[in-house]
Amino acid sequence: MPAKDEEELELRQTHEALSIILSDDSAFEAVLNTVFEDIDFKLDGSVDNYELERYIGNACAGMGLAPPETGQIHGIFLHLDLNNDKAISREELAVFLRHFFQQQVKFCALKLHLPRAP
């Protein structure tokens, strides 16, 4: 299969999967729970800066990428910590994931030249 066809197939699959996750509350909750549990390795119900740095570092290593600088991760942390309590709650992560998934759906639709949703 040519690379362009593979890219289009991947974009279509991503668009469909994320659209389903966004339209099905139980699917979104399942993804949210999985991601939150992966990040919250202390199992205390919130994510601190160290846990976020560890998670992002592991994710980067798994993709063969260098991890971001500590200051960059702290900036991400501050962006996710909506109430400035120095912890990311499950609800705060949900806000981020929903927005991120919506942006990815838009990106895929744009690349695939799909009509915009109302």
Is 60 in contact with 76 (CB distance < 8 Å)?
no
Q: pLDDT-derived band of residue 3, with 50, 70 and 90 as boundaries?
A: confident
Q: Considering the entire predicted model, what is its pTM?
A: 0.86
pLDDT given at position 114: 83
pLDDT in tens, 9-45: 999 999 999 999 999 999 999 999 999 999 999 999 9
* Block residue for tokens 């509350």: 25
pLDDT given at position 35: 97
Give the separation between CA 23 and CA 102, rounded to whole angstroms.
11
- Kindly state the average pLDDT of the residues 68-78: 96
Structural domain boundaries of the chain?
A: 3-112
Q: Which CATH number fits domain 3-112: 3.10.50.40, 1.10.238.10, 3.40.190.10, 1.10.3720.10?
A: 1.10.238.10
Q: Which residues, 6 or more positions from 38, have their beta carbon under 8 angstroms from its beta carbon?
A: 55
Q: Tell me: pLDDT of 58 over 70.
A: yes
